């Protein structure tokens, strides 16, 4: 099923992301987590793609198994930085052969110690989007950054690049995580003013430990509202209390988003089935539509 039809449906969409293992040794445990989340019957699930395609084989296999075994629509991530055109086509072939109809097209992060090379086939996500569109048959999603991409000189520049990606063929966008819904609403206003009209799925991460948030800030520059900092200060030393508080905070964000007409929320569940289950329980009546 094409995700654009789910995202644009009247019923609120609640979906979850998982990431595949970095090695075969961890495959079984992550497969179990993915299956536990799939059993919640979310609107759809997405499966990430490691830097430089390091987990690409697992991405397709996990996504295909979820869809086949649990009848949950899936979206496979695909990044292009340091990838060849032939390699991208092989990934698309594998997705098609496994019945995967939805792709999140990403530039991706450079593998550690790697520098961009002029001869690479892709340098920007918009180039990958155009490639997938030319290949045909996929519903194409893209990423967006409500606070601006960390590498962009300004938010205006980032939105201009986002428009190129949409014009290349993105049918919907999914945001990076944010912790203040006003950031999302302001971003939505700005991109609509810029002529970007595709649906924008809100990305929410329930923060369940302090180390997790430190890494998020270092990688993305995401701003933390003061009231969220108070939660970290008060409960960060107590793992169970922090988990409960993080789930409650994320639930409050999602309730507000749905109440304000946002059609779809994507939860970065970090392969934690218990967190996904609690979020879904908290919203059980709301997501009935």
- 205-224 pLDDT per residue, tens: 999 988 888 777 777 778 89
- Name which of 14-28, 232-246, 268-282 the model is least confident about: 14-28
Counting residues of the chain whose pLDDT is more than 90, the rounded percentage is: 75
User: Which pLDDT score is estimated for 95?
Assistant: 96
- 32-76 pLDDT per residue, tens: 999 999 999 999 999 997 655 556 678 999 999 999 999 999 999
User: Which pLDDT score is estimated for 49?
Assistant: 79
Counting residues of the chain whose pLDDT is more than 70, the rounded percentage is: 93
Is residue 24 pLDDT above 80, yes or no?
Answer: no
User: Which pLDDT score is estimated for 201?
Assistant: 98
Residue tagged active-site, from 8, 17, 157, 171: 17
User: Which pLDDT score is estimated for 54?
Assistant: 55
- 162-191 pLDDT per residue, tens: 999 999 999 999 999 999 999 999 999 999
Is residue 200 pLDDT above 90, yes or no?
Answer: yes
User: Which pLDDT score is estimated for 204?
Assistant: 97
User: Which pLDDT score is estimated for 150?
Assistant: 83
User: Which pLDDT score is estimated for 56?
Assistant: 67
Average pLDDT over residues 72-97: 93
CATH of the domain at 196: 3.20.20.220
User: Which pLDDT score is estimated for 154?
Assistant: 93
Number of domain units in the chain: 1
Task: Domain of residue 24: give its range.
Answer: 3-288
- 100-131 pLDDT per residue, tens: 999 999 998 766 666 667 667 888 999 999 99
Active site residue 17: yes
Is residue 157 pLDDT above 90, yes or no?
Answer: yes
User: Which pLDDT score is estimated for 254?
Assistant: 98
Is residue 285 pLDDT above 70, yes or no?
Answer: yes
**What is the C-alpha to C-alpha distance for residues 101 and 32, in angstroms, rounded to an integer?**
23
């Amino acid at each position: 099923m094409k995700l654009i039809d789910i995202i644009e449906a009247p019923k609120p969409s609640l979906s979850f992301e998982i990431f595949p293992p970095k090695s075969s040794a961890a495959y079984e445990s992550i497969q179990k987590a993915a299956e536990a989340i799939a059993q919640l019957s979310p609107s759809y699930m997405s499966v990430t793609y490691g830097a430089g395609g390091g987990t690409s084989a697992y991405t397709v296999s996990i996504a295909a198994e979820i869809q086949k075994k649990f009848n949950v629509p899936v979206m496979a991530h695909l990044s292009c930085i340091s990838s060849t055109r032939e390699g991208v086509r092989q990934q698309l072939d594998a997705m098609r052969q496994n019945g995967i109809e939805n792709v999140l097209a990403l530039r991706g992060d450079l593998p550690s110690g790697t520098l961009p090379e002029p001869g690479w086939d892709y340098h920007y996500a918009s180039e990958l989007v155009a490639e997938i569109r030319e290949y045909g048959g996929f519903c194409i999603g893209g990423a967006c950054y409500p606070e601006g991409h960390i590498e962009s000189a300004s938010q205006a520049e980032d939105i201009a690049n986002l428009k190129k990606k949409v014009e290349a063929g993105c049918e919907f966008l999914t945001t990076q995580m944010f912790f203040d819904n006003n950031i999302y609403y302001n971003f939505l206003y700005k991109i609509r003013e810029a002529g970007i009209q595709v649906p924008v799925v809100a990305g929410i991460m329930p923060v369940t430990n302090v180390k997790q948030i430190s890494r998020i800030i270092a990688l993305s520059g995401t701003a933390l509202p003061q009231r969220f900092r108070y939660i970290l200060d008060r409960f960060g030393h107590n793992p169970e209390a922090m988990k409960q508080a993080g789930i409650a905070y994320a639930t409050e964000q999602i309730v507000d988003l749905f109440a304000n007409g946002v059609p779809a929320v994507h939860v970065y569940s970090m392969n934690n089935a218990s967190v996904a289950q609690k979020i879904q329980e908290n919203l059980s009546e709301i997501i009935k539509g």
